[in-house]
């Protein structure tokens, strides 16, 4: 049985026209100790074997709670951090080992938008300069051309082009995030990695930015990796969604498949934890409340990392044998890293707690 | 915690060696020969040669440093390992033991620096806290003017001013000299009262700069802490204002002041030179200046060694103290 | 008599740039054992409202008027001593950021027992026993061993549990929770909300839940106050607010929220930014962002008036009821039509 699972755990099926492929991506941060000489005694496995493929024009949503490694993964893909292991392929070219200089042509094609619109803009530079910086670095046009382009960009993201000469502090949070978007768009990138771009914003302003990102994707055929802890937001913007827990992908599927038929108990717990803004629906259902906190990534639990908090934990199985990230029913592209996937959704609390009933891999395999 | 302590100690030793080596190198680089100076105006080559041999300056630099270091260690392996008294050598100019020179000067400087520290904290604590509680009040504005003056004015200028007005014009305090804290039998010119009387003006002079710096720092810390969420929590619990201040505001706001105090004792030792010069106090600063003027390497080195040791020990104490009062340091 | 009755509460702050109207005429009431949700975006005045009730605003810069009747006694005019008696004992408060709300240099046990000993004449030992009891009630494992730990030895979710334990130690009649789950992850949020609900049943306290999250309000509130720009835009029972919203701002808030149970291609967005309360807009404060703005909106600030045929539902908007019924129905239908079968 374990053999079969292993055999089904194939590497990504690649067609060759992916924009970005990550294979078994790892990032470990060393923990050192020592009086004079520092020796490595442990490592924080922030990202531990993440694989995915992304096609042009697609949006991949990445959800998970703080400490699950989603931001570290994004920084590895952007090569802002050196991955410890694994391979990143961008447009068919392996960029994992490229030096800073060799990365330069790729930098134009992949940009990033950050969470904090207050901290990610240099307060001493004018908005025009901030947006134009990448254009100047890559020497894309004369000064006059760059200025025209910057004003055009400001208009595209819904800012007044006349505000070219203002400083970031003269803008509100939402407007600053628009500046961040304009900066990312300046060099016509293919891929934009958005790291929690709306989590610092008010609801009404959040909607403006989400709509803007969707419009830009349509107009410029952009590809997004959208990282957020808010499941509602990820659902709204993504085509595919990847759920991360303690540095690993626990479930990945098309948006509808993931939200309608989650397979992994962690995804189920996340979905049931999101408050529904509807008093009749919201009060009728039961939250699946997970016990305790996320364990330390320095010393992750054995086998399935979710097992100490999992409502369907089966002793002797989940803590011994690591489940593979494979199809567990539903569409072929829907994979989950769990021995006892959820049979249907929503489940009652009792059903949630009884693993190994009909319909699980046990019998299916 | 122990690991941390050991690392700090190793760093302290390294720092100590580096400081003494640098002093040697500086002296070596200065184009003056202590042996020639020792022989006076009509130095003959033989006299210089003899003097150089006598002082040990005819040996290579590394050998001089080695001898110095060997003397300084509190143990020796010659004739079997045993403990011995660490020695700083003898003065080039008058052959006095540097140990005794330092031993005479250190209490003077210690009186000045520690008395001064008490003086400046007595000013800075109440003024800093009150002006933080009443920002923009009259007291706060006066305190800010004091801070500006205290930071801008040089201690020598302040010292001369104080000596002129309070010492010379008003005749309230002596403007020169030092009196021992411990009186020998029958000696009425010494004792705690005389000691303090002689030191009032030096203390005030010395304390003004630091008082100004500390008023500013304490005011900023207290104001920042007043805005902390846990202070709001304390009030929300129904704690009376004095308890909020004592247990939640001051406890946290004064933590960094403790560290600063430890670090500033070192700077204060340097600053003591000016005050000692103005008031003619026979402290370490004055001793060092005299020694440097006469190229007296052992005495200079002795003061440097002593001051370095004091600073290192102080920093260690402060680090430990900080760990005791801040659980975040202690338990991580 | 209501437990807490807030009437025309105003709080203005003096700043270097001028007077900021943080709360400008807010009224609501809370009954025994009831949960009131106050929703609004940042700067809407929802937190300041509660800090004013608690008397926790800076006395140097805040000026308040109106009244906040606690069991009939006005908290705004109560003397500081009486206010201290009520704070932490009859009304307790928990805050948004559990990481900074506990004093880092004091042990958890001491902070908990301080909260009790300030109000009751109990021995150190009794207070510690009560602290253990409360820590157990909020789900801290092995509470007797955690009393001597410091806040930094707890995770964010655990610290919020400690804060809740501390607020409940004197069995308060009212618990004010100021965005208690905003800084926490969604599974921790679920833990904390479940905990607050359970403790509310157990202790019978009334709760004021301040939040920007309509989902949280929908799940736990009985009554809802929607605040915009220091004023109440709409208030009523939770069913009234969510099933028959009557203010364009409430529509905007609901429409701008991406939802798990509904699919929409584009979110309804509210144009522009919340106004500065230094110079709030004339007339209705929402008019510069309102898609239904009429000439009267720019001139006259609408009164909070009752919705006809819907007792207890109040709203402040000039739009006629016919249009409102139509638009609200359209909005809800739009969300329904997109709702996916489950």
Smallest CA–CA distance from A33 into chain B, residue: B3
Where a domain ends, among B33, B52, B83?
Answer: B83
Distance separating alpha carbons of residues B204 and B173, to the nearest angstrom: 12
CB contact under 8 A, C270 and A272: no
* Alpha-carbon gap: A50 to the closest alpha carbon of chain C (Å): 22
Quick one: B123 and B258 in the same domain? yes
Distance separating alpha carbons of residues A247 and A51, to the nearest angstrom: 11
Cis peptide leading into residue A346 (ω within 30°) = yes
Sequence-distant (6+) residues with CB within 8 A of B272 are B109, B112, B113, B116, B206, B283, B284, B285
Please report, for chain B, how many H helices and E strands are present, in that order: 15, 2
**Bridge partners of residue A242, in order along the sequence:** A62, A252
Q: In what order do the strands lie in the sheet with A223-228?
A: A110-113, A191-195, A223-228, A59-63, A240-245, A248-254, A335-337, A325-327
Where a domain ends, among B52, B83, B114?
Answer: B83
Q: Which of helix, strand or coil describes residue A71?
A: helix
Q: Does C274 touch chain A (CB under 8 A)?
A: yes
* pLDDT score at B184: 65
Task: Tell me which chain C residues have a C-beta less than 8 angstroms from the C-beta of B232.
Answer: 56, 95, 101
CB contact under 8 A, A36 and B10: yes
CB contact under 8 A, C259 and A281: no
Q: What range defines the domain where residue B241 resides?
A: 102-330
* pLDDT score at A5: 44
Please indicate whether residue C171 or residue B9 has the higher confidence score (pLDDT).
Answer: C171
Q: Are A25 and A49 in contact (CB under 8 A)?
A: yes
Q: In Å, what is the CA distance from A241 to each residue of A79, A255, C306?
A: 22, 6, 45
Q: What percent of chain A has pLDDT over 70?
A: 92
pLDDT over 50 (residue A361) = no
Q: Of C85, C94, C69, which Cα lies nearest the Cα of C162?
A: C94
pLDDT over 80 (residue B80) = no
CB contact under 8 A, B3 and A35: yes
pLDDT over 90 (residue A320) = yes
- B313, part of any domain: yes
Distance separating alpha carbons of residues A111 and B310, to the nearest angstrom: 54
Note the pLDDT tens digit of each residue in A137-185: 888 888 889 999 999 999 989 888 888 889 998 888 888 999 999 999 9
Distance separating alpha carbons of residues C195 and C217, to the nearest angstrom: 15
Task: Please give the backbone phi and psi of residue A52, each rounded to the nearest 5 degrees, phi first.
Answer: -165, 160
Query: Residue A277 is nearest to which of C242, C270, C340, comparing CB atoms?
Result: C242
Give burial (CB, 10 Å; 0-12/13-18/19+) of B252. Answer: buried
* pLDDT score at A86: 93
Please list the pLDDT of chain C residue by residue as tens digits (342 residues). 799 999 999 999 998 889 999 999 999 999 999 999 999 988 899 999 999 999 999 888 899 999 999 999 999 999 999 999 999 999 999 998 888 999 999 999 999 999 999 999 999 999 999 999 999 988 888 999 999 999 999 988 899 999 999 999 999 999 999 999 888 888 888 888 988 998 888 888 999 999 999 999 999 999 999 999 999 999 999 999 999 999 999 999 988 888 777 777 788 888 888 888 899 999 999 999 999 999 999 999 999 999 988 889 999 999 998 898 888 888 887 765 544 333
Tokens representing A326 are 């494979």
Note the pLDDT tens digit of each residue in B63-79: 888 888 888 888 877 77
* pLDDT score at C211: 94
Query: Residue A203 is nearest to which of C238, C256, C340, comparing CB atoms?
Result: C256
Tokens representing C291 are 């898609």
Q: Of B84, B65, B68, which Cα lies nearest the Cα of B25?
A: B65
pLDDT over 90 (residue B169) = no
Q: Are A69 and A324 in contact (CB under 8 A)?
A: no
* pLDDT score at B279: 85
Q: How far apart are the first and last CA of chain A?
A: 7
Distance separating alpha carbons of residues C279 and B19, to the nearest angstrom: 62
- B91, part of any domain: no
Task: Tell me which chain C residues have a C-beta less than 8 angstroms from the C-beta of B331.
Answer: 150, 152-153
* Alpha-carbon gap: B257 to the closest alpha carbon of chain C (Å): 15
Q: Does A36 touch chain B (CB under 8 A)?
A: yes
pLDDT over 50 (residue A10) = no
Handedness of CA C224, C227, C230, C231 (dihedral sign): negative
Q: Are A43 and A11 in contact (CB under 8 A)?
A: no
Task: Tell me which chain B residues have a C-beta less than 8 angstroms from the C-beta of A36.
Answer: 7, 10
Residue C102 gets which letter from DSSP?
A: S
Q: Which domains does chain C have, with CATH numbers?
A: 4-224 (3.40.50.300), 244-337 (no CATH)
Q: In Å, what is the CA distance from A177 to each residue of B273, C69, C138, C255?
A: 56, 42, 38, 21
* Alpha-carbon gap: B294 to the closest alpha carbon of chain A (Å): 41
Q: In Å, what is the CA distance from A167 to each residue of A89, A162, A212, C281?
A: 37, 12, 22, 25
* pLDDT score at B1: 65
* pLDDT score at C237: 95
Distance separating alpha carbons of residues B289 and B284, to the nearest angstrom: 9
Query: Residue A235 is nearest to which of C185, C190, C258, comparing CB atoms?
Result: C258
**Bridge partners of residue A87, in order along the sequence:** A23
Distance separating alpha carbons of residues B200 and C147, to the nearest angstrom: 49
Task: Tell me which chain A residues have a C-beta less than 8 angstroms from the C-beta of C42.
Answer: 202
Task: Please give the backbone phi and psi of residue C167, each rounded to the nearest 5 degrees, phi first.
Answer: -70, -25
Sequence-distant (6+) residues with CB within 8 A of A352 are A265, A268, A288, A311, A312, A342
Note the pLDDT tens digit of each residue in B266-287: 788 888 888 888 888 888 988 8
Q: Does B2 touch chain A (CB under 8 A)?
A: no
Distance separating alpha carbons of residues C255 and A327, to the nearest angstrom: 35
The count of structural domains within chain B is 2
Smallest CA–CA distance from C102 into chain B, residue: B230
CB contact under 8 A, C104 and B232: no
Chains touching A (3+ CB pairs < 8 Å): B, C
CB contact under 8 A, C190 and A65: no
Quick one: B67 and B141 in the same domain? no
> What number is the average pLDDT over the span B237-263?
90
User: Residue B252: pLDDT band by 50, 70, 90 thresholds?
Assistant: very high
ipTM reported for the complex, 2 dp: 0.88
> What number is the average pLDDT over the span B134-156?
89
Task: Tell me which chain C residues have a C-beta less than 8 angstroms from the C-beta of B230.
Answer: 100-104
Q: Of C219, C162, C164, which Cα lies nearest the Cα of C186?
A: C219
Q: Count residue pairs from A and C with Cβ separation < 8 A.
A: 133
Average pLDDT, chain B: 84
Task: Tell me which chain C residues have a C-beta less than 8 angstroms from the C-beta of A203.
Answer: 41, 212, 214, 253, 256-257
Q: Which of the residues B132, B233, B326, B332 would you substitute to probe the C interface, choosing the one with the greatest number of C C-beta atoms within 10 Å?
A: B233
Q: Which of the residues B238, B251, B252 would you substitute to probe the C interface, choosing the one with the greatest number of C C-beta atoms within 10 Å?
A: B238
Smallest CA–CA distance from B6 into chain A, residue: A35
Distance separating alpha carbons of residues B171 and C169, to the nearest angstrom: 64
Quick one: B181 and B297 in the same domain? yes
Q: Which of the residues C141, C269, C276, C333 would you substitute to probe the A interface, choosing the one with the greatest number of A C-beta atoms within 10 Å?
A: C269
Q: Count residue pairs from B and C with Cβ separation < 8 A.
A: 78
Chains touching B (3+ CB pairs < 8 Å): A, C
Going by their DSSP bridges, the two strands B75-76 and B82-83 should be labelled as antiparallel
Q: Does B7 touch chain A (CB under 8 A)?
A: yes
- B206, part of any domain: yes
Q: Does A175 touch chain C (CB under 8 A)?
A: yes
pLDDT over 60 (residue A333) = yes
Sequence-distant (6+) residues with CB within 8 A of A146 are A132, A135, A136, A140
Q: Are C11 and C76 in contact (CB under 8 A)?
A: no
CB contact under 8 A, B3 and A36: no
* pLDDT score at B13: 85
* pLDDT score at A116: 80
Please indicate whether residue C339 or residue B234 has the higher confidence score (pLDDT).
Answer: B234
Distance separating alpha carbons of residues B326 and C106, to the nearest angstrom: 9
Sequence-distant (6+) residues with CB within 8 A of A284 are none
Please indicate whether residue A261 or residue C261 has the higher confidence score (pLDDT).
Answer: A261
User: Residues 193 to 252 of C: which have CB under 8 A from any A CB?
Assistant: 193-194, 212-219, 238-239, 242-243, 252
* pLDDT score at B331: 64
Task: Tell me which chain B residues have a C-beta less than 8 angstroms from the C-beta of C105.
Answer: 251-252, 255, 325-328
Q: Of A325, A334, A338, which Cα lies nearest the Cα of A49?
A: A325
Quick one: B237 and B324 in the same domain? yes
Going by their DSSP bridges, the two strands C4-15 and C18-30 should be labelled as antiparallel
Please indicate whether residue C297 or residue B318 has the higher confidence score (pLDDT).
Answer: C297
> What number is the average pLDDT over the span A100-114?
90
Q: Which of the residues A32, A34, A36 would you substitute to probe the B interface, choosing the one with the greatest number of B C-beta atoms within 10 Å?
A: A36
* Alpha-carbon gap: C252 to the closest alpha carbon of chain B (Å): 32
User: Residue A280: pLDDT band by 50, 70, 90 thresholds?
Assistant: confident
* pLDDT score at A284: 67
Query: Residue A273 is nearest to which of C189, C217, C271, comparing CB atoms?
Result: C189
* pLDDT score at A14: 77
* pLDDT score at A9: 44
pLDDT over 50 (residue A4) = no
Q: Does A269 touch chain C (CB under 8 A)?
A: yes
Task: Give domain A246-365's CATH superfamily.
Answer: P-loop containing nucleotide triphosphate hydrolases (3.40.50.300)
Task: Please give the backbone phi and psi of residue C14, each rounded to the nearest 5 degrees, phi first.
Answer: -85, 125
If residue C176 lies in a helix (H) or strand (E), which one and from where to where? strand C174-178
Min mean pLDDT across A315-319, B217-221, C181-185 is at C181-185
* pLDDT score at B187: 63
Note the pLDDT tens digit of each residue in C231-249: 999 999 999 999 999 999 9
Quick one: B111 and B55 in the same domain? no
- B57, part of any domain: yes
User: Residue A362: pLDDT band by 50, 70, 90 thresholds?
Assistant: very low
Sequence-distant (6+) residues with CB within 8 A of A304 are A310, A318, A319, A322, A323, A337, A338, A339
- B178, part of any domain: yes
Distance separating alpha carbons of residues C44 and C48, to the nearest angstrom: 9
**Length of chain A in residues, anyone?**
365
Note the pLDDT tens digit of each residue in A221-254: 999 999 999 899 999 999 999 999 999 999 999 9
Q: Does A37 touch chain B (CB under 8 A)?
A: no
Q: Does C37 touch chain A (CB under 8 A)?
A: no
User: Residues 323 to 342 of C: which have CB under 8 A from any A CB?
Assistant: 340, 342
Provide DSSP, B52-74.
HHHHTTTS-HHHHHHHHHHHHSS
CATH of the domain at B193: 1.10.3720.10
């Amino acid at each position: 049985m374990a053999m079969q699972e292993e055999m089904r755990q194939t590497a990504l099926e690649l067609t060759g026209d992916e924009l970005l492929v990550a294979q078994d991506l790892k990032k470990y941060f060393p923990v050192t100790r020592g009086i004079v000489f520092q020796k490595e005694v442990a490592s924080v496995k922030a990202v531990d074997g993440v694989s995915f493929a992304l096609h042009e024009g697609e949006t991949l949503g990445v959800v998970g709670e703080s400490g699950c490694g989603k931001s570290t993964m994004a920084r590895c893909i952007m090569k802002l951090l050196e991955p410890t292991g694994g391979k990143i392929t961008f447009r068919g070219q392996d960029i994992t080992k490229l030096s800073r200089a060799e990365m330069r042509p790729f930098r134009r094609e992949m940009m990033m938008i950050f969470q904090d619109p207050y901290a990610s803009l240099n307060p001493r530079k004018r908005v025009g300069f901030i947006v134009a910086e990448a254009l100047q670095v890559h020497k894309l046009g004369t000064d006059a051309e760059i200025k025209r382009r910057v004003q055009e960009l400001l208009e595209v993201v819904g800012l007044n082009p006349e505000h070219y000469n203002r400083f970031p502090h003269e803008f509100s949070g939402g407007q600053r995030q628009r500046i961040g978007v304009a900066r990312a768009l300046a060099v016509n990138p293919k891929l934009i990695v958005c790291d929690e771009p709306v989590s610092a914003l008010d609801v009404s302003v959040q909607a403006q930015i989400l709509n803007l990102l969707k419009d830009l994707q349509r107009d410029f055929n952009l590809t997004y990796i959208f990282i957020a802890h808010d499941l509602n937001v990820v659902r709204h913007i993504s085509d595919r969604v990847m759920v991360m827990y303690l540095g690993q992908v626990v479930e990945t599927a098309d948006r509808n498949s993931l939200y309608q038929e989650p397979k992994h108990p962690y995804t189920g717990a996340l979905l049931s934890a999101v408050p529904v803004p509807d008093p009749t629906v919201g009060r009728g259902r039961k939250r699946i409340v997970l016990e305790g906190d996320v364990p330390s990534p320095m010393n992750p639990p054995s086998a399935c990392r979710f097992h100490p908090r999992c409502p369907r934990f089966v002793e002797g199985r989940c803590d011994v044998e690591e489940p593979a990230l494979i199809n567990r029913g539903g569409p072929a592209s829907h994979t989950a890293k769990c021995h006892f996937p959820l049979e249907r959704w929503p489940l009652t609390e009792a059903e949630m707690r009884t693993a190994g009933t009909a319909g699980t891999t046990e019998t299916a395999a | 915690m122990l690991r941390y302590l050991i690392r700090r100690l190793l760093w302290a030793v390294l720092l100590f060696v580096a400081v003494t080596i640098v002093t040697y190198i500086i002296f070596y680089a200065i184009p003056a020969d202590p042996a020639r100076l020792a022989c006076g105006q009509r130095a003959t080559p033989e006299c210089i040669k003899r003097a150089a041999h006598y002082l040990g300056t005819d040996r290579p630099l590394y050998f001089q440093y080695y001898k110095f270091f060997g003397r300084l260690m509190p143990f020796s392996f010659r004739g079997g390992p045993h403990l011995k008294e660490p020695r700083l050598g003898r003065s080039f100019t008058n052959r006095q033991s540097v140990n005794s020179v330092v031993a005479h000067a250190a209490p003077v400087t210690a009186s000045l620096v520690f008395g001064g520290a008490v003086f400046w904290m007595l000013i800075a604590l109440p003024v800093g806290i009150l002006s933080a509680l009443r920002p923009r009040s009259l007291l706060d504005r006066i305190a800010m003017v004091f801070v500006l003056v205290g930071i801008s004015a040089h201690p020598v200028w302040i010292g001369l001013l104080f000596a002129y007005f309070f010492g010379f014009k008003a005749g309230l305090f002596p403007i020169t000299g030092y009196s021992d804290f411990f009186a020998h039998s029958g000696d009425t010119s010494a004792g705690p009262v005389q000691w303090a009387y002689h030191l009032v003006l030096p203390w005030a002079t010395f304390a003004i700069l630091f008082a100004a710096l500390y008023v500013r720092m304490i005011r900023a810390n207290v104001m920042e802490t007043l805005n902390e969420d846990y202070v709001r929590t304390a009030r929300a619990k129904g704690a009376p204002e004095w308890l909020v201040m004592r247990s939640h505001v001051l406890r946290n706001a004064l933590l960094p002041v403790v560290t600063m105090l430890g670090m500033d004792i070192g700077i204060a030792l340097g600053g003591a030179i000016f005050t000692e010069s103005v008031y003619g106090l026979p402290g370490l600063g004055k001793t060092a200046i005299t020694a440097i003027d006469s190229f007296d390497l052992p005495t200079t080195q002795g003061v440097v060694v002593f001051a370095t040791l004091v600073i290192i020990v102080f920093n260690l104490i402060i680090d430990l103290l900080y760990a005791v009062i801040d659980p975040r340091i202690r338990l991580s | 008599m209501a437990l807490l009755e807030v009437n025309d509460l105003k709080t203005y702050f003096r700043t270097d740039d001028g007077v900021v109207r943080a709360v400008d005429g807010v009224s609501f009431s809370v009954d025994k054992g009831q949960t009131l949700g106050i929703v609004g975006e940042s700067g809407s005045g929802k937190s300041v409202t509660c800090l004013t009730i608690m008397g926790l605003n800076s006395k140097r810069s805040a000026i308040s008027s109106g009244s906040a009747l606690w069991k009939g006694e006005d908290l705004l005019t109560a003397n500081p001593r009486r206010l201290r008696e009520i704070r932490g004992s009859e009304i307790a408060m928990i805050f948004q950021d559990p990481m900074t709300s506990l004093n880092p240099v004091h042990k958890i046990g001491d902070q908990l027992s301080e909260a009790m000993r300030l109000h009751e004449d109990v021995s150190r030992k009794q207070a510690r026993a009560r602290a253990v009891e409360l820590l157990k009630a909020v789900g801290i494992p092995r509470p007797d061993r955690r009393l001597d730990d410091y806040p930094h030895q707890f995770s964010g979710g655990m610290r919020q549990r400690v804060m809740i334990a501390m607020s409940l130690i004197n069995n308060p009649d009212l618990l004010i929770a100021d965005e208690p789950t905003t800084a926490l992850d969604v599974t921790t949020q679920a833990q904390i909300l479940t905990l607050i609900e359970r403790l509310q049943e157990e202790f019978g306290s009334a709760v004021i839940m301040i939040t920007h999250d309509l989902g949280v309000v929908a799940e736990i509130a009985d009554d809802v106050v929607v605040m915009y720009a220091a004023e109440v835009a709409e208030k009523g029972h939770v069913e009234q607010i969510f099933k028959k919203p009557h203010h364009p701002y409430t529509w905007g808030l609901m429409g701008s929220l991406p939802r798990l149970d509904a699919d929409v291609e584009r979110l309804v967005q509210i144009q522009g930014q919340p106004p500065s309360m230094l110079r709030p807009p004339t007339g209705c404060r929402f008019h510069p962002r309102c898609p239904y703005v009429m000439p009267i909106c720019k001139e006259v600030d609408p009164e909070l008036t009752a919705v006809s045929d819907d007792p207890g539902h109040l709203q402040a908007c000039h739009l006629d009821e016919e249009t409102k019924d139509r638009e609200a129905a359209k909005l809800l239908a739009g969300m329904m039509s997109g709702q996916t079968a489950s």
